[in-house]
Amino acid sequence: MVDPHVDLPDVARRWGAGEAERIEAELHGFAPDLLRRFLPRMDTLALVPRQQVVLSRLNVPFPTRPGRAAVLVVSLPADVRAPQRLGLRVIDAAEVGDGWLDLPDWCWHAQASVERRGAYGASPERLPWHHPDGRPYAPDETSPGEPADRAAAMETLTALLEAGEVLAAYQAAGFVVDHTPPRYGSAFLVTHQLTRSASTLPLLAAEYRRLAHRYGHRSLRFAAQLAVAEDDGVLRLYAHPSAYKLPGPLVGVPAPSEAALLRSGALTADQLHPLVHEALFPDRDQRRPVTRSQTGKEFRVRCGGDWHLLRLTGGHLTATRHDPAEIERELLLAQLGGSINGCANAVRAWRTGAKPVPREIRRTRSDLHARLFHGDTDTVLAFVEAGLDPELRDGTGSTLLHWLSHLDHVRALPALLAAGLSLDARDGEGDTPLHRAAAAGAEDVMTALVDAGADRRAVNGSNRTPARLLQETRRRG
């Protein structure tokens, strides 16, 4: 999901017709689904809050004087719990801030196919860990090392890193590592940070030179206390206790791992992103895999002295050996402190996540809620279409409607209402879907909910109305 804030006539007025044409061309090739693969994330896989990402195909240094060049910038969400939507806008090149992320065009532009092939470790003739005819190396086969092309270099670096030869890998990539520890630090810190950043090594030299040329800085930040610089053609990594204060962007894009996954069989060519497939297999027709059906999952649970079959169809769990009324009656008795059998417990676990949770239920719930959080509207709607239990909630007591601001609400709201979800259902904090939309600052979603009949005067557990929550969200910016 992308919220575009780009006005091309305004770009032409501010920077000229030529810049407007360039920005239009960059927008034409903008591939947000590919870009998301390279955006920085937290351990929870939420996007890093408030990070600004520069996207530009300008091949000359950025002007330092305002009014000379326009730049596309993507803004990441303000909070780790916020809808994972990207804001897209145009700023002056002179306004790019220190510590921003600047991604190369192969990460986000459809037409950067040649650059993308190189970034994925391929030479013009072959992929790494593959023969020129496309056959992957056998499990016990090693790189012949010749010819010394891009694919062979990727194989060499990866082998050294997998063997724990981190310093040798950096040297093989053309870097001189200065082991002098930072002030009040130890030599171990240098090795530790090199190890933590090793995934960026295959692309580090190219990225440093691209960014040094663009921003005009000799030293750039590579890690928390490491910097990279080039002197007389020699790339040097060294400790810098104030690296975070260095001007310019952070250097380092993790090298894609698809070629290694193709070799191991964990990934097939048909499962690649279409733009990656085009770059790696330009003469092959891709057959996109059919989205896995949300119907027909079956598993058994212990119920009394027997094993009973449960069937998960979309968002609805059916206990095949029990009448639905029997299950509902047992769930009601459980709320009053009564015992609960295996099948009713599984239905409760599916609806609420209450333990114990059978493995298949836990896996499907986790997958669904991850897709909700990251805005995968198509898969969520397929899930709903296959059948949805209106009582389905996540661990916070939220229904799918509480996640509406994360989805394409124009498509999702009618489908969720048709599935029987309540506009005014409460989560564990007493929030309605309207409260959650207000907390996210999603005013368009709020309007849609109110138009559908949501209670705008509802008060949550903190005695706040949706309107008051929206005011607080606006003040926080």
Model confidence over 278-319: pLDDT tens digits?
999 999 999 977 655 455 688 899 998 899 999 988 788 889
Whole-angstrom distance, CA of residue 421 vs CA of residue 423:
7
Domains and CATH numbers, the chain: 2-107 (no CATH), 143-280 (no CATH), 291-364 (no CATH), 395-477 (1.25.40.20)
Whole-angstrom distance, CA of residue 77 vs CA of residue 83:
7
**Would you say 284 and 130 are in contact if contact means Cβ atoms under 8 Å apart?**
no
Q: Which residue has the tokens 């407007």?
A: 20
Q: According to the model, what pLDDT value does residue 180 have?
A: 82
**Would you say 328 and 321 are in contact if contact means Cβ atoms under 8 Å apart?**
no
Is the pLDDT at 456 greater than 90, yes or no? yes
Q: Which of 49-63, 185-199, 279-293, 348-362 tops mean pLDDT? A: 49-63
Is the pLDDT at 248 greater than 80, yes or no? yes
Q: According to the model, what pLDDT value does residue 148 have?
A: 76
Whole-angstrom distance, CA of residue 254 vs CA of residue 276:
16
For residue 138, what pLDDT band results from cuts at 50, 70 and 90?
confident
Is the pLDDT at 437 greater than 80, yes or no? yes
For residues 392-406, b (16+ Cβ closer than 10 Å) or e, as one string? bbbeebbbbbbbbbb
Mean of the per-residue pLDDT values for the chain?
91
pTM, entire model: 0.83
For residue 75, what pLDDT band results from cuts at 50, 70 and 90?
very high
Q: According to the model, what pLDDT value does residue 12 have?
A: 98
Q: Which residue has the tokens 């661990």?
A: 395
Is the pLDDT at 82 greater than 50, yes or no? yes
Is the pLDDT at 349 greater than 60, yes or no? yes
For residue 364, what pLDDT band results from cuts at 50, 70 and 90?
confident
- Interval 32-51 mean pLDDT: 94
DSSP letter for 180, please: P
Token output for 40? 């920085």
Q: What is the helix (H) or strand (E) element at residue 65, kind and residue range?
A: none
Name the percent of the chain lying above pLDDT 70: 96
Q: According to the model, what pLDDT value does residue 149 have?
A: 87
For residue 477, what pLDDT band results from cuts at 50, 70 and 90?
low
How far, in Å, are 38, 216, 222, 224, 226 from residue 212 at the CA level?
Answer: 20, 5, 12, 18, 16
Token output for 412? 């999702």
For residue 341, what pLDDT band results from cuts at 50, 70 and 90?
confident
Q: According to the model, what pLDDT value does residue 190 have?
A: 86
- Interval 15-24 mean pLDDT: 97
Render pLDDT for 381-407 as a digit per residue (tens, 0 to 9).
Answer: 988 888 888 889 998 999 999 999 999
Specify which residues 54 forms β-bridges with: 73, 102
Whole-angstrom distance, CA of residue 420 vs CA of residue 410:
17
Token output for 262? 């193709």
For residue 213, what pLDDT band results from cuts at 50, 70 and 90?
very high
Q: Residues near 379 by Cβ (< 8 Å), separated by ≥ 6?
A: 291, 371
Q: According to the model, what pLDDT value does residue 159 have?
A: 92
